[in-house]
Amino acid sequence: MEIALVGIGKIALDQHVPAIAASPDWDLAATVSRKGSVDGVESFTDFAELLERRSDIRVVSLCLPPVPRFDYAAAAIAAGRHVMLEKPPGASLSECHRLIDMAQAQRVSLYATWHSREAPMVAAAKAWLADKTLRRLQITWKEDVRRWHPGQDWIWEPGGLGVFDPGINALSILTEILPDAIHLTDATLEVPENKQGPIAASLRFAHPAGAEVGAVFDWRQDGDQIWTIEAETDRGRLELHDGGARMVIDGIEQSADGPALAGEYPRLYARMAQLVASGGSDVDLSPMRHVADAFLLGRRETVAPFHE
């Protein structure tokens, strides 16, 4: 199937273009970007023009930041296109619900991707936790914003999520692997005095069996970057490291069963191909709901200004 890629920035070039190029399902037929392009691929600067002139391209993948993305998604759905969304699926929950309703009405596929759920050991962690009673779970997501988001001013603006931009990846894994529904009870958001978005956050959740569930996100990490989820259960201890790439059970490193398709983004594109073929949609808003709750309930603390 032919696909158009919209917003030729960091994630489009790092992950989407190579994943599409390697996919047996997809052919990158066009790009839409105000200044970027991909060698050998027809490029547009105006999205409406792509929708009008290339009615043969039935699927679009939107790699824009969350705030500008809604208008593109709504226009694509209104024009009868199937839509794949980068994470987070929108700048607000209401926007996301609107897109779900529009996609249903137009009978097109809508896929809200969560790339971290496709990390190699996430499915194995889910299977291991399924029949155990959770006692304690702690997420530690600490990275250097200067290293991973250079020059990305949008990330500090309203709707950019601040440290929840990576933090929502941890929450996407949490909501995938936990057999129980949890809800946020309190949060602290550390906001630099010159920014709108938090640079660090800590969260606590209520768990139906009374397990302690918490998360710490921090963008001021020097040295080793940490993306870890640790869970203690009635029958052992699980650790997910490196954002779900590695799993340790009771101190023993586990190996993956050899996923048919390696790589988070190749697996997202394979899933999108299935959804389009079957006429399905996949929009799970639970990671975003926890982030929205943190912004609703979080106690703000002003911290030192951040300068890149």
Give the strand pairing for 200-206 and 183-192. Answer: antiparallel
Residue 97 host element (H or E):
helix 93-106
What distance in Å separates the CA atoms of residue 187 and residue 291, rounded to the nearest whole number? 10
Q: Should residue 244 be labelled a site residue for ligand NAP when binding is judged by CB under 6 A?
A: no
Residue labelled with tokens 């969350």:
66
Q: Which of 76, 86, 216, 306 binds ligand NAP (CB under 6 A)?
A: 86
> What is the per-residue DSSP string for 148-175?
HSTT-GGGGSTTS-TTHHHHHHHHHHHH
Near ligand NAP by CB under 6 A, which window of 7-15, 133-141, 202-210, 219-227? Answer: 7-15
Q: Should residue 63 be labelled a site residue for ligand NAP when binding is judged by CB under 6 A?
A: yes
Q: Should residue 9 be labelled a site residue for ligand NAP when binding is judged by CB under 6 A?
A: yes
SS3 content of the chain, % helix, strand, coil (to 5): 35, 30, 35
Q: Should residue 43 be labelled a site residue for ligand NAP when binding is judged by CB under 6 A?
A: no
Q: Should residue 62 be labelled a site residue for ligand NAP when binding is judged by CB under 6 A?
A: no
Near ligand NAP by CB under 6 A, which window of 34-42, 94-102, 193-201, 292-300? Answer: 34-42
Choose among 214, 217, 209: nearest CA to 189.
217
How many residues sit in the footprint of ligand NAP (CB under 6 A)? 22
Near ligand NAP by CB under 6 A, which window of 75-83, 147-155, 234-242, 284-292? Answer: 147-155
Cβ(59)–Cβ(84) under 8 Å?
yes
Residue type, 257: D
Q: Should residue 165 be labelled a site residue for ligand NAP when binding is judged by CB under 6 A?
A: yes
Smallest distance, Å, CB 6 to ligand NAP?
8
Q: Which residue is nearest to ligand NAP (CB)?
A: 9
Return the residues of window 254-293 that contact ligand NAP according to CB under 6 A: none
Cβ(194)–Cβ(304) under 8 Å?
no
Q: Which of 20, 38, 59, 66 binds ligand NAP (CB under 6 A)?
A: 66
Active-site residue set: 87
Question: Closer to ligand NAP at the Cβ: 1 or 13?
Answer: 13
Q: Should residue 34 be labelled a site residue for ligand NAP when binding is judged by CB under 6 A?
A: yes
E-strand ranges in 54-152 read 59-62, 82-85, 110-112, 134-142
Q: Should residue 8 be labelled a site residue for ligand NAP when binding is judged by CB under 6 A?
A: yes
Alpha carbon of 163 to those of 158, 167, 218, 277: distances in Å? Answer: 12, 6, 7, 36
Burial 147-167 (b: 16+ CB within 10 A, else e): eebeebebbbeebbbbbbbbb
Return the residues of window 12-31 that contact ligand NAP according to CB under 6 A: 12
Smallest distance, Å, CB 302 to ligand NAP?
25
Q: Residues in the site for ligand NAP, rule: CB under 6 A?
A: 7-12, 33-36, 63-66, 68, 86-87, 115, 148, 152, 154, 165
